[in-house]
């Protein structure tokens, strides 16, 4: 019987298997950041051990950094201390750090791919659930807790039970105004926030194949939002061309050798999945969330479900209370005060180009505050070199400096209590963007259109289709 893409890579990295089925899985790349690593380094210190493979570990500061005046000392004492702690730990343990001020600094899941560190066939982990982003390259990439960060630092391995396999196929051509963000919000709305738990997902089908690498990363990024351990897409010419020539990608002969291997990374025709779903691209419209988990999403022209349409009224009502919405309410036309364009989901150069292209000749509504946060220093520089910053400025958007920012509101970038924010990030949990903040997840195009209109609008109504 044939093997799935997932099995091929997983099996290739099993050092040994424990009684009961837990695998010792070898990790090719370990990304670390300031928030989930300090306790792991402390653990190493307590045991008086070193980082086992320094060359397979890369650090950056992203979760807790300011997005303006990064050249100045961080004002918040705790944040400054935590970022400094990362710097000290990396120095002490010999780990490469792309910290604040470095040309390669940025959101960990944006810099890995753009530097060519992320490659097909790899196993990649990071103490962050959106590590699934790297799966877009045909890698097994997943988030881990701090105890596991410590495991990888000291042994380059994690103990992990092999998840089951799920394939989600999307077929056909996307409708105008529909982006990869809408695809993944649509999938999660169908499978729910727990529909993927226990599984590792492979995204397949002609629609997925048609997507750019950036768009594929957006899809894989949100796999965790349906509970899946990770998501991946078989590498193809687009993948190889993206990786080729990047800073840390294999060069010349080595690249050719790697390519030979990468071309074997696909699911065999007769391989079997534990679960399969197929959706039609034609059924997908621009999406928006109304509730407090990413599974609570609807077509932008749709309505909040009525009480008859849902299973658990208690959780649903709690969610609507928080959001200040009524069951059955339509979202179109709802006034919004904030727009956040950023995060590891949608802050790559393609996202910024798309937003800039849309904004040409337009202005944001006066009452809307916009936070536009590039995913990395390289994305920021690229945007400036293409003159996108000027387009943004003319529209009333300010391009700030890279970091996770208002996606999780660890730094000062927060949405005020009770106010609505259309956000290109990945989570609409209660308080995620600040205590009391009300998040509506959407694509970058929808977010830009809402910023201009000052209310929730259907992007398709504003495009010259």
Partner 1 sequence: MKKYESFVSSAVPLPIQEIDTDQIIPARFLKATTREGFGENLFRDWRYLPGNVPNPDFILNDTVYGGEILVAGKNFGCGSSREHAAWALYDFGFKAVISSFFADIFKGNALNNGLLPITVSPKLLDEIFEKIETNPKSQFKVDLENQKFTILDTGKSTSFEVDPYKKMCLLNGYDDIDYLLSIQDSIEAFEANQVTF
Give CA–CA dist 68/399, Å, rounded.
9
- The correct pick among 16, 71, 269, 385 for binding partner 1 (CB under 8 A) is 16
Residue in this structure with the two tokens 């500061």, named with its chain if needed: 61
**Binding to partner 1 (CB under 8 A): which residues in 135-174?**
143-148, 150-151, 154-157, 159, 161, 163
Regarding 304 and contact with partner 1 (CB under 8 A), the answer is no
- The correct pick among 8, 29, 33, 38 for binding partner 1 (CB under 8 A) is 38
Beta carbon nearer to partner 1, 2 or 435: 435
Pick the piece of the chain touching partner 1 (CB under 8 A) from 13-21, 171-179, 334-342, 367-375. Answer: 13-21
Beta carbon nearer to partner 1, 19 or 360: 19
Question: With contact defined as beta carbons under 8 Å apart, do 202 and 234 qualify?
Answer: yes
For strands 275-280 and 230-232, give the pairing. Answer: unpaired
**Binding to partner 1 (CB under 8 A): which residues in 378-397?**
none
**Binding to partner 1 (CB under 8 A): which residues in 46-105?**
47, 49, 52, 63-64, 76, 78-79, 81-82, 85
Q: How far is the CB of 331 from partner 1 (least distance, A)?
A: 21
The sheet that has 22-26: what strands, in order across it?
A: 14-17, 22-26, 157-161
Write the interaction track for partner 1 spanning residues 432-451; mark x where CB under 8 A is met and - where it is not.
x--xx---------------
**Binding to partner 1 (CB under 8 A): which residues in 224-243?**
224-225, 227, 229
3-state SS, residue 111: helix
Give CA–CA dist 173/321, Å, rounded.
38
Beta carbon nearer to partner 1, 103 or 261: 261
Regarding 198 and contact with partner 1 (CB under 8 A), the answer is yes
Angle between helices 213-221 and 349-359 (to 10 degrees): 110
Give CA–CA dist 355/461, Å, rounded.
16
Give CA–CA dist 102/112, Å, rounded.
14
Give CA–CA dist 208/186, Å, rounded.
14
Give CA–CA dist 119/222, Å, rounded.
19
- The correct pick among 209, 238, 303, 318 for binding partner 1 (CB under 8 A) is 318
Pick the piece of the chain touching partner 1 (CB under 8 A) from 17-25, 65-73, 344-352, 361-369. Answer: 17-25
Pick the piece of the chain touching partner 1 (CB under 8 A) from 2-10, 31-39, 110-118, 181-189. Answer: 31-39
Pick the piece of the chain touching partner 1 (CB under 8 A) from 178-186, 248-256, 300-308, 362-370. Answer: 248-256
Regarding 35 and contact with partner 1 (CB under 8 A), the answer is yes
Q: What are phi and psi of 93, to 5 degrees?
A: -105, 5
Cβ neighbours, 10 Å, residue 36: 18
Give CA–CA dist 300/307, Å, rounded.
19
Dihedral (C-alpha) 321, 326, 331, 332: value to the nearest 10 degrees? Answer: -130
Beta carbon nearer to partner 1, 250 or 454: 250
Beta carbon nearer to partner 1, 262 or 392: 262
**Binding to partner 1 (CB under 8 A): which residues in 281-300?**
293, 295
Question: With contact defined as beta carbons under 8 Å apart, do 201 and 169 qualify?
Answer: no
Regarding 127 and contact with partner 1 (CB under 8 A), the answer is yes
Q: How far is the CB of 159 from partner 1 (least distance, A)?
A: 5
Question: With contact defined as beta carbons under 8 Å apart, do 453 and 295 qualify?
Answer: no
What is the token pair recorded at 20? 């009961």
Strand partners, 125: 30, 142
Beta carbon nearer to partner 1, 105 or 148: 148
Regarding 257 and contact with partner 1 (CB under 8 A), the answer is yes
């Amino acid at each position: 019987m044939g093997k799935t893409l997932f099995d091929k890579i997983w099996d290739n990295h099993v050092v040994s298997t424990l009684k009961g089925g837990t695998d010792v899985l070898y990790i090719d790349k370990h990304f670390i950041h300031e928030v989930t690593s300090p306790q792991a380094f402390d653990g190493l210190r307590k045991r008086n051990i070193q980082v086992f493979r320094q060359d397979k570990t890369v650090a950056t500061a992203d979760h807790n950094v300011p997005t303006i005046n990064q050249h100045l000392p961080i004002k918040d004492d705790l944040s400054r201390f935590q970022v400094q702690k990362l710097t000290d730990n990396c120095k002490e343990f010999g780990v490469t750090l792309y910290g604040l001020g470095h040309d390669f600094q940025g959101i960990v899941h944006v810099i890995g791919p753009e530097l060519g560190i992320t490659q097909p066939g790899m196993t990649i982990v990071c103490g962050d659930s959106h590590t699934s982003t790297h799966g877009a390259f045909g890698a097994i990439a997943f988030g881990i807790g701090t105890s596991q960060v410590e495991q990888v630092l000291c042994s380059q391995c994690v103990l992990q039970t092999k998840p089951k396999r799920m394939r989600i196929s999307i077929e056909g051509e996307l409708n105008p105004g529909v982006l990869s963000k809408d695809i993944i919000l649509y999938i999660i709305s169908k499978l729910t926030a727990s529909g993927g738990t226990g599984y590792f997902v492979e995204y397949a089908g002609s629609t997925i194949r048609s997507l750019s690498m950036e768009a594929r990363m957006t899809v894989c990024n949100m796999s965790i939002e349906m509970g899946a351990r990770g998501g991946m897409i078989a590498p193809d010419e687009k993948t190889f061309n993206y990786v080729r020539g990047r800073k840390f990608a294999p060069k010349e002969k080595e690249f050719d050798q790697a390519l030979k291997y990468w071309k074997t990374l696909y699911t065999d025709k007769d391989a079997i999945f534990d679960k399969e779903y197929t959706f039609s691209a034609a059924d997908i419209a621009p999406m928006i969330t109304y509730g407090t988990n990413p599974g609570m999403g609807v077509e932008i022209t749709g309505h909040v479900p009525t009480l008859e349409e849902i299973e658990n009224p208690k959780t649903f009502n709690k969610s609507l209370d928080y959001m200040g919405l009524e069951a059955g309410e339509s979202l179109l036309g709802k006034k919004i005060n904030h727009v956040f364009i950023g995060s590891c989901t949608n802050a790559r150069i393609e996202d910024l180009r798309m937003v800039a292209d849309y904004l040409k000749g337009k202005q944001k509504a006066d009452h809307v505050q916009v936070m536009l946060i590039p995913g990395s220093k390289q994305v920021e520089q690229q945007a400036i070199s293409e003159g996108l910053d000027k387009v943004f400025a003319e529209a009333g958007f300010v391009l700030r400096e890279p970091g996770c920012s208002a996606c999780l509101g660890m730094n000062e970038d927060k949405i005020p209590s009770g106010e609505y924010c259309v956000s290109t990030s990945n989570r609409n949990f209660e308080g995620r963007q600040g205590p009391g903040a009300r998040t509506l997840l959407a694509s970058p195009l929808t977010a830009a259109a809402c910023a201009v209109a000052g209310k929730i609008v259907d992007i398709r109504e504003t495009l010259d289709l």
